[in-house]
Chains A and B, each alone.
Chain A
Amino acid sequence: MKKLITMLMLFGCLTMSSFMTSPFATIVSGVPLDYASYQVKITYTGEQLKAAPSLLLTGSGRVANKDEFIPYRSANVRYSNDDAGVFEISLSGTTIKKFVDALALRPELCTSGGRTQPVLSLMIERNVAPAEIVFEHLADMVEAHTILNLLEGAIATEPSITKTNVRRFRNYTIGHH
């Protein structure tokens, strides 16, 4: 019995370990084509009255699935808006790579975890064999603006409707402040 409990505890630790978010460096790929299988989720986690749908940016080479982020959620962070719904946008791998590359130039945004009372959760999933890796940064208001700035810069060559939708997300979460 004692051995069984030990095994269960070990299993749990391993499981938890596999669900922990990873350092930013692990999601950067040297293969540009990989980015078409990435997902980026941006969740507003600040104060609110009406739920604000989250933003789910999905590489063009895969199907959107917000639930893949659930195991990697941080404790004591409100992801309720993911449950309210997501606002799905499909992006080319090139565009997602631009966004990741832009983030890489901002060390303050490349830390896993982040603020204790975040207004924005940025999660990036690299779903390339053999492992699924998720990075998360929890941003305060200043960082949230920076993240969305970088995103808007990355999607500059995307169709107008994409830019509009990202701007809308910004406006009904942090952008009109």
Chain B
Amino acid sequence: MKTKIFNQISKACIILMLAVFSSSAFATTIVSTNGTWTITPDGRGIKISFKADSTHVTCAKIGLIQTVKITLYDAAGNGTVVNPADLSPHFAHLGDDTVGGTVVDHLWCEKDGEYNGDDNPQDKPNKQGSSGAGAATTSSDMKDYPYIGNGILRKAGKSRVVMEFEVCAVCMTPPVTTYDCIKWKYERDTTANDDGSSSLVSVAPAAETPAHAAAVAKFSTNHTAAGVAICPEEQALINSFSKLYDLLGPLWFKANQPFEVISAGGRVKKGPAAPTSSLPVAPIGTAVAPTDYVFVPSGDRICLRRTGIIPSTDPQIPFVASFSDLYFGSQESVETGVASSFQHTGIRVKNCSGTTLCAAAPVSSTNTMGHVMFTAKINNTTQQVTFKNNSLSTHAITCKDVLHNLSVATLNPGDSLVYSFPGQVPSCVSTLNLKLFIQGYMNGSGGSMGPVLYNQGQEAKVGECDSIDVQLRAPYSPFQVMQSTRAVLRQDGTASCTFSPTNQQYFIAVKHRNAVETWSANPIQLQLGTVLYDFSNAASKAFGANQIAVAPGVWAFYSGDISQDQSIDLLDMPIYEAAVNSFTYGYSPSDLNGDGSVDLLDYPLLEANINNFIFSNQPN
């Protein structure tokens, strides 16, 4: 329980209520009920000392808590109190601790609010004092050299800055007690030499102000968790120990620290609760035991970041993340080492059959936080892989072509290397073979569709029906389009869709120019190689069972969404009617039966589906 003792600072005891300083002023002494303050201008700063009166004060650790309020003035003399965090990135850590413009003056990652507290080195060499109860009476000392440069003032359109400081002596040991306070003021304007020179304007004794008390309370709230003093900035560090990765192809990873993966869709998957040196390496989307990590991305980019508090005692604890297995045929690149805590632990470049073509050896290195340390990129056209070393360490790279010719190279800091495998890397794709029918295009037998493109006067090969657009949608909200392709739909309902290599689960969404958009009932696992999905053998193969039976055991997508608004309704009718009235023939979405002309033969199908309120069924 914090108590305040403003022991009615005895006016009689105050030798000097207000002193006006200049840089050449001598020390000023202020005697108050609980001790004696000594304030000494020190070059461009100030030295403040408080020596408690041992007849009044018993405390083993006496600290000094300083708050500051910054006011900027324009040329007309109008003042504005500002949050320090708004002035400079250097003060960013003060932003959340500021109350009404007043904040406890502290450096990054301090756990206590005392200027001369226990944070090391932030509070050093300022000295704590003691008093009474057999302890030697020693002074509490601090030095300060505040400075706001002309650059900041001019940027803010201001001409003068006034920093009002309030320093209170406190007993740091329970029960925390606030003793006497003083105020001092620093100011400078843009006419001063921008070398840090400033004016120490005044100093005066005071009882603790509400603003000081509020700032101290705010600091205490922000810097305490579960009763333990913390550095809140460490929490922010977690986010800096993270990195976005493109995820267009297979990606394997392991880590030696607890981690979490955030997909573009915002879905979070957490790693193990405790650090472990060896985690299982599993392909994305693979089912794993509950004790293992699991990761199913829902976006085309992922963010891997460390979880948990990074201890201030060792913020260098590495987060070793291993990213590997680039496959030719994808558009993928891999970047590693965004911070000194990230380490490049090896990249392998493989061909489609899984043979390693190049391997960059693991390296511990450093670079600027936020900068990419090491990259490997593939050019599928030239069948080249480029390694770039942005780190400060040498990387060893080994490549081997199909003839087993071995190339070993040393990649020095700042260097790039290109390896070519002309004609040696087979195309590597993920293929999705679909089977589906379009209701209006069905032949009478129910096992095939008509040659719609041919009927509509389009150039088409034998057996081709029409074209469809196939999307791979993320399996989680908001179900982004991860990849898409246009494929030929054959009369037998088959369509072969080629995608960049992937090893993930997706909803399959099929769009056709006059059929209602239809999604797979569930996410489908795609992989290197070929996967088959047959919509036509059960209504339930479509999301919401949104298909119509066109023959025994044969199901088709509903026809009639001419307006492509994902619903078959009265908005489709005017388009159809206009086409009929103009005797449209040829390639037209209003030709629902695909016979080459828009006429009354298309009407029954459209009318039935409008009456049945057919619309696209998709996961929400």
Cβ-defined contact, A80 with B195, below 8 A: no
Task: Indicate whether B152 reaches chain A with its CB closer than 8 angstroms.
Answer: yes
Stretch at the interface among B243-251, B311-319, B473-481, B535-543: B311-319
Q: Which residues of B contact A161 (CB under 8 A)?
A: 314
With CB as the reference atom, state the residue of chain A lying closest to B44. Answer: A80
Cβ-defined contact, B90 with A78, below 8 A: no
Task: Indicate whether B43 reaches chain A with its CB closer than 8 angstroms.
Answer: yes
Task: Indicate whether B84 reaches chain A with its CB closer than 8 angstroms.
Answer: yes
B108-128 vs A: 1/0 string, CB under 8 Å?
A: 110000010000011011100
> 21 A-B Cβ contacts within 8 A?
A47-B148, A49-B94, A49-B163, A50-B122, A51-B144, A78-B44, A83-B143, A83-B145, A84-B143, A85-B121, A85-B143, A117-B151, A156-B364, A156-B365, A160-B314, A164-B314, A167-B315, A171-B109, A172-B107, A176-B236, A177-B89
Task: Indicate whether B68 reaches chain A with its CB closer than 8 angstroms.
Answer: yes
A77 and B195 in contact, given A48-B147, A49-B91 (Cβ under 8 angstroms) = yes
Q: How far is the CB of A140 from chain B (nearest CB, A)?
A: 11
Q: How far is the CB of A122 from chain B (nearest CB, A)?
A: 17
Interface size in chain A (residues, C-beta < 8 A) = 42
Cβ-defined contact, A172 with B108, below 8 A: yes
Q: Which of A134-177 contact B (CB under 8 A)?
A: 145, 149-150, 152-153, 156, 160-161, 163-165, 167-169, 171-177
Q: Which residues of B contact A87 (CB under 8 A)?
A: 121, 124
Cβ-defined contact, A176 with B108, below 8 A: yes
A81 and B145 in contact, given A171-B108, A172-B122, A177-B89 (Cβ under 8 angstroms) = yes
| Most-contacted residue by chain B among A45, A156, A177 (CB, 10 A) | A156
A80 and B315 in contact, given A172-B108, A177-B89 (Cβ under 8 angstroms) = no
Cβ-defined contact, A49 with B392, below 8 A: no
Q: Which residues of B contact A77 (CB under 8 A)?
A: 195
With CB as the reference atom, state the residue of chain A lying closest to B195. Answer: A76
Cβ-defined contact, B143 with A46, below 8 A: no
Cβ-defined contact, B233 with A78, below 8 A: no
Task: Indicate whether A52 reaches chain B with its CB closer than 8 angstroms.
Answer: yes
Q: How far is the CB of B380 from chain A (nearest CB, A)?
A: 34
Q: Which residues of B contact A171 (CB under 8 A)?
A: 108-109, 233, 315
B530-559 vs A: 1/0 string, CB under 8 Å?
A: 000000000000000000000000000000
Cβ-defined contact, B315 with A50, below 8 A: no
Cβ-defined contact, B125 with A85, below 8 A: yes
Task: Indicate whether B527 reaches chain A with its CB closer than 8 angstroms.
Answer: no
Cβ-defined contact, B316 with A51, below 8 A: no
Q: Which residues of A contact B93 (CB under 8 A)?
A: 176
* Other contacts beyond A48-B146, A152-B366, A177-B90: 15, CB < 8 A: A46-B88, A46-B90, A47-B88, A47-B147, A47-B149, A50-B106, A50-B115, A78-B196, A80-B44, A83-B145, A149-B366, A152-B340, A153-B392, A176-B93, A177-B92
Cβ-defined contact, B109 with A84, below 8 A: no
Which of B108, B149, B193, B393 is in CB contact (< 8 Å) with A46?
Answer: B149
Task: Indicate whether B105 reaches chain A with its CB closer than 8 angstroms.
Answer: yes
Q: How far is the CB of A91 from chain B (nearest CB, A)?
A: 16
With CB as the reference atom, state the residue of chain A lying closest to B115. Answer: A50
With CB as the reference atom, state the residue of chain A lying closest to B145. Answer: A80
A38-61 vs B: 1/0 string, CB under 8 Å?
A: 000000011111111100000000
Task: Indicate whether A20 reaches chain B with its CB closer than 8 angstroms.
Answer: no
Complex: A78 Cα to B149 Cα, angstroms: 11
Cβ-defined contact, A78 with B195, below 8 A: yes
Cβ-defined contact, A145 with B392, below 8 A: no
Q: Which residues of A contact B368 (CB under 8 A)?
A: 145, 149
Cβ-defined contact, A176 with B92, below 8 A: yes
Cβ-defined contact, B44 with A168, below 8 A: no
Cβ-defined contact, B364 with A49, below 8 A: no
Cβ-defined contact, B121 with A78, below 8 A: no
Cβ-defined contact, B163 with A168, below 8 A: no
Q: How far is the CB of A103 from chain B (nearest CB, A)?
A: 12
A49 and B366 in contact, given A78-B196, A83-B42 (Cβ under 8 angstroms) = no
Which of A46, A49, A81, A164 is in CB contact (< 8 Å) with B105?
Answer: A49
Cβ-defined contact, B121 with A50, below 8 A: no
Q: Which residues of B contact A168 (CB under 8 A)?
A: 109, 121, 312, 315
With CB as the reference atom, state the residue of chain A lying closest to B234. Answer: A171
Q: How far is the CB of A66 from chain B (nearest CB, A)?
A: 12
Q: Which residues of A contact B393 (CB under 8 A)?
A: 153, 156
Q: How far is the CB of B95 from chain A (nearest CB, A)?
A: 12
Q: Which residues of B contact A110 (CB under 8 A)?
A: none
Task: Indicate whether B45 reaches chain A with its CB closer than 8 angstroms.
Answer: yes
B339-361 vs A: 1/0 string, CB under 8 Å?
A: 01000000000000000000000
| Most-contacted residue by chain B among A45, A149, A177 (CB, 10 A) | A149
Cβ-defined contact, B121 with A176, below 8 A: no
Q: How far is the CB of B414 from chain A (nearest CB, A)?
A: 9
Q: Which residues of B contact A51 (CB under 8 A)?
A: 45, 143-145
Q: How far is the CB of A54 from chain B (nearest CB, A)?
A: 10
Q: Which residues of A contact B68 (CB under 8 A)?
A: 49
The 7 closest A-B pairs by CB, nearest first: A80-B145, A78-B196, A153-B392, A76-B195, A85-B125, A177-B89, A172-B108
Task: Indicate whether A28 reaches chain B with its CB closer than 8 angstroms.
Answer: no
Task: Indicate whether A64 reaches chain B with its CB closer than 8 angstroms.
Answer: no
Q: Which residues of A contact B392 (CB under 8 A)?
A: 102, 149-150, 153, 156
Q: Which residues of B contact A49 (CB under 8 A)?
A: 68, 84, 91, 94, 105, 144, 146, 163
Which of A83, A84, A176, A177 is in CB contact (< 8 Å) with B233?
Answer: A176
With CB as the reference atom, state the residue of chain B lying closest to A52. Answer: B107
Q: How far is the CB of A86 from chain B (nearest CB, A)?
A: 8
Task: Indicate whether B367 reaches chain A with its CB closer than 8 angstroms.
Answer: yes
Complex: A175 Cα to B115 Cα, angstroms: 21
Complex: A53 Cα to B120 Cα, angstroms: 10
Cβ-defined contact, A156 with B145, below 8 A: no
With CB as the reference atom, state the residue of chain A lying closest to B149. Answer: A47
Q: Which residues of A contact B44 (CB under 8 A)?
A: 78, 80
Q: Which residues of A contact B367 (CB under 8 A)?
A: 149
Complex: A77 Cα to B194 Cα, angstroms: 9
Q: How far is the CB of A152 from chain B (nearest CB, A)?
A: 5
Q: How far is the CB of B155 from chain A (nearest CB, A)?
A: 11
B129-159 vs A: 1/0 string, CB under 8 Å?
A: 0000000000000011111110110000000
Complex: A160 Cα to B317 Cα, angstroms: 9
Q: Which residues of B contact A175 (CB under 8 A)?
A: 369
Complex: A48 Cα to B68 Cα, angstroms: 12
Cβ-defined contact, B88 with A50, below 8 A: no
Complex: A102 Cα to B88 Cα, angstroms: 30
Cβ-defined contact, A47 with B314, below 8 A: no
